[in-house]
Structure 1
Amino acid sequence: MSAVAASIRECEGCRPDALPLDELLATGQPVVLRGLVRDWDLVKQGRDSARAATDYLTGFYNCRPVQYSHGGPEVEGRPFYNDDFTALNCEVRRGGLDALLAEILSHLDDERPPTYYMASLPVDACLPGLRDGNDLDFAAHGVRAPSSIWIGNRTTASCHYDAPSNIACCCVGRRRFTLFPPDQVGNLYPGPLEPTPGGQAVSVVDFARPDFGRYPRFRQALAAGQAALLEPGDAIFIPSMWWHHVEGLDAFNVLVNYWWSSMPAHIPTPMHALYHALWTIRDRPEPEKRAWREVFEHYVFGPADGAGAHLPERARGVLDPIDEATARQLRAMLLDKLNR
């Protein structure tokens, strides 16, 4: 693994019932929350053994099928692409969580085990009751943040970003997090938007064996990167849009995370706008693209109240803050235009 320039800032003494959520969001920087979930029941079971942790999880399982990635030993724990980036190197399987856990346990001592990686399983949907002894108090901040669980063997989630803010809790096994600020997107060489190993575009650089001849700007990303090793019981705050590369370092790993957005539900993901802009703007002549950049700067990236400030309030329309009614009108208008 190539070394990055800095270590992620750490915070000691945080408690699940007293999250410093406002402070975390205000800084906009990643923070390791040492020992945040050390007293979770799942963490305690994992400290005992992998078997104890799997038995504990199975006790909450409601038998709903789960989806996970599976690959042979040659995948080396890295769900990724094939050589020409047209397909993934793992197959997606569906089955019982209890069977998946048993498969992982059966290969704990293998030098080159098959790859098993179950990503982002909603806890309440498949493991009802697990949160009773393993949860963070987002409700105290008026925030709805459902938890998801990630289970696998020695696997790597290639570097990617998520639009929501994220607190990831290391429950079983150690994990190494390597983070990059959003402005490093070009230096991380993102892969195809579709298909993707986990729903988001990922860096195509192999962090374990980076090819600097092919990806020279990756050196600049490393200079801007931050890293931390998390032990079971630690957690990390990953701000919205920060790129993160996550390595499971032990033969059995479990992580629980919480995503949440500061935006109301009627504001959709900007990914829709990205696809639309690729379609409508990217291939235009450079003078037109520069002009459209100025238009977007005025209406979108400038001050939220700037574009309509000189207009009477009743004349501002969509230049005012978007409420639910305006969101419905915009959606209907866009659907009508796109379907013509």
Structure 2
Amino acid sequence: MREMKTLDGVSREQFEREVLAGYEPVLMRGLVAHWPLVAQGRAGLEACLQYLSGFDQGLPVDALLAKPEPTRAFGYKPGLDGFNFLHDKRPYAALFEQLWRYSHFPDPPALAAQSALVSAALPGLELANPCPLLPPEVAPRLWVGNRATTPAHFDDSHNIACVVAGQRRFTLLPPQCAPLLYLGPPDHAPTPAPTSVVPDLHRADAERFPLVAQALEQALVAELAPGDAIYIPPLWFHQVEALAPHLNALMNYWWRPPAAPDRPDDLHLAAMRLAMLAFRHLPDGEREGWQALFAHYVFGARGPALAHIPEGQRHLFGELDAAADAAIRQDIAGRLKP
């Protein structure tokens, strides 16, 4: 495992110039230590839940409940024929009461209210606790629960995660580790994000998952206390362990820079799944040929590699306006019709 870059007192200018440009995770100690929510988180379970309840509008939020198994991971069943947790929607009042009751058990079930949009479920909380590195239009989400693990997965957005109560351990691995992480099918995962079938990388069965040890050699690991934040670049795998026994809470921010005026930037995972569908039946030699063409057309053809084409004649190689983008999307959608 490698040491993660750590910064103190990060300014917005430094974040944009240094952190975003580096395409590596960065631990930012004390970034949100001034938040009122962090003060309540440090005060303990009852103080934190009472503070959050003051913003509650009674909106049901996603909740996961799992048996208190050793890994306490929200993941696959052993045979991968389903998931090892119950999923429903409950108001925060019921979830907070359940967390309080579970705090009296020595080993309660794993409970988590995940990814609730703060402006809808707890309006005003985001205004009282603003992120100093992002504009206000980047909407935060809240994660609240007791001790549990989210297995290694990736998102296609930038992510700043701010710990506000308890303690969290992040294990981060570059996208190149994908072949080492025993990923499940992208269309059958515990969450919308493609996920490893290994419940906990640090406790992986070496006989079943021998490649995990190679992945961990490239891993970055950091433990965050209330007030600390971490930046996770798009596509970096991350396993997240909520370590405190009774209460862990986190606010995170996902965003993507706009691709172009009037153009949605939402094709990445869809394009990957379509490519899996399009090339799966081809023989190995032809698949390798397409891999080489993808390396050029999708990822390589830029800068000097396009010098032989006048800028005004580069078409899909060049800049597209909204009309051209829409026309290409329409053509692709038409080809997908049976």
Q: Please indicate the TM-score interval, normalised by the length of the shorter structure.
A: over 0.9
SS at 1:6 equivalent? coil
Contact 1:77/1:116 (<8 A) preserved: no
Q: Work out the CA distance in 2 between the residues paired with 1:282 and 1:138.
A: 42
Contact 2:73/2:151 (<8 A) preserved: yes
Contact 2:66/2:84 (<8 A) preserved: yes
Instruction: Give a deviation string over 1:162-204, Cα, whole Å, max 9, x none.
Output: 1111110000001111111111111111122233222112122
Q: Work out the CA distance in 2 between the residues paired with 1:219 and 1:72.
A: 27
Contact 1:184/1:221 (<8 A) preserved: yes
How many residues are paired up?
A: 333
Q: Deviation of residue 229 (structure 1)?
A: 0.9
**1:216 corresponds to which residue?**
210
Residue among 132, 141, 149 paired with 2:142: 149
Contact 1:267/1:327 (<8 A) preserved: no
Q: Are 2:158 and 1:165 equivalent residues in the alignment?
A: yes
**2:240 corresponds to which residue?**
246
Q: Work out the CA distance in 1 between the residues paired with 2:9 and 2:133.
A: 17
**1:64 corresponds to which residue?**
59
Q: Are 2:226 and 1:228 equivalent residues in the alignment?
A: no
**2:8 corresponds to which residue?**
12
Q: Are 2:25 and 1:26 equivalent residues in the alignment?
A: no
**2:172 corresponds to which residue?**
179
Q: Deviation of residue 305 (structure 1)?
A: 5.3
SS at 2:74 equivalent? coil
Residue among 122, 130, 140 paired with 2:125: 130
Q: Work out the CA distance in 2 between the residues paired with 1:171 and 1:119.
A: 14
**2:299 corresponds to which residue?**
301
Q: Are 2:101 and 1:103 equivalent residues in the alignment?
A: no
CA-based RMSD: 2.0
**Structure 1 pair 211–194 and aligned structure 2 pair: CA distance change class (3 A):** same
Q: Deviation of residue 137 (structure 1)?
A: 3.5
AA aligned to 1:146 is A
**Structure 1 pair 195–232 and aligned structure 2 pair: CA distance change class (3 A):** same
**2:193 corresponds to which residue?**
200
Q: Which runs of 5+ in 1 are unaligned?
A: none
Q: Work out the CA distance in 1 between the residues paired with 2:230 and 2:201.
A: 20
**Structure 1 pair 166–139 and aligned structure 2 pair: CA distance change class (3 A):** closer
Q: Are 2:263 and 1:287 equivalent residues in the alignment?
A: no
Q: Work out the CA distance in 2 between the residues paired with 1:64 and 1:35.
A: 31
- Identity over aligned residues, as a percent? 35
TM-score under structure 1 length normalisation: 0.92
Q: Work out the CA distance in 2 between the residues paired with 1:263 and 1:307.
A: 25
Contact 1:138/1:144 (<8 A) preserved: no
Contact 1:188/1:203 (<8 A) preserved: yes
Instruction: Give a deviation string over 1:111-162, Cα, whole Å, max 9, x none.
Output: 221121122111111111001221113555xx84211111111011111111
Q: Deviation of residue 249 (structure 1)?
A: 0.7
Instruction: Give a deviation string over 1:43-75, Cα, whole Å, max 9, x none.
Output: 001111111110111111111111111123348
Q: Are 2:243 and 1:270 equivalent residues in the alignment?
A: no
Shifted more, 303-312 versus 236-245: the winner is 303-312
Contact 2:201/2:212 (<8 A) preserved: no
Q: Which runs of 5+ in 2 are unaligned?
A: none
SS at 1:185 equivalent? helix
Contact 1:138/1:145 (<8 A) preserved: no
**1:91 corresponds to which residue?**
86
SS at 2:34 equivalent? coil
Residue among 301, 326, 336 paired with 2:334: 336
Q: Deviation of residue 24 (structure 1)?
A: 0.7
**2:322 corresponds to which residue?**
324
Q: Work out the CA distance in 1 between the residues paired with 2:141 and 2:307.
A: 42
SS at 2:330 equivalent? helix
Q: Deviation of residue 306 (structure 1)?
A: 6.2
Q: Deviation of residue 76 (structure 1)?
A: 5.3
Q: Deviation of residue 33 (structure 1)?
A: 0.3
TM-score under structure 2 length normalisation: 0.92
AA aligned to 1:150 is W
Q: Deviation of residue 313 (structure 1)?
A: 4.6
AA aligned to 2:144 is I
